[in-house]
């Protein structure tokens, strides 16, 4: 069986040395409100009764927030000044 969203989330957490507070702040960058208790449910063992599967939308938003956290916000696009009028 392949990796689940929870597995990917756990691996990213460890690889970037993120704490629950960091993850909450990263999710807030993309207007996703996540609590520490919700995060705890994602990081539990699959056999635990309070385990919750991490959905695609939560992982996607976390990844978008992580990009902003690591690179900074995307710069605004300026109109192309190289177009020539005839």
pLDDT tens for each residue of 18-32: 999 999 999 999 999
**Residue carrying structure tokens 């207007």:** 31
> What is the reported pTM?
0.80
**From CA 32, how far away is CA 42, in angstroms rounded?**
15
- 56, containing H or E segment: helix 56-71
Minimum mean pLDDT among 8-22, 27-41, 51-65, 72-86: which range? 72-86
């Amino acid at each position: 069986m392949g990796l689940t969203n929870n597995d990917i989330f756990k691996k990213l957490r460890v690889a970037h040395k993120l704490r629950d507070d960091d993850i909450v702040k990263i999710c807030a960058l993309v207007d996703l409100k996540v609590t520490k208790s919700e995060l705890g449910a994602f990081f539990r063992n699959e056999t635990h009764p309070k385990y919750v599967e991490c959905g695609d939308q939560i992982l996607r938003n976390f990844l978008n927030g992580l990009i902003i956290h690591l690179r900074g916000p995307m710069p605004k696009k300026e109109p192309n000044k190289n177009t020539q009028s005839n």
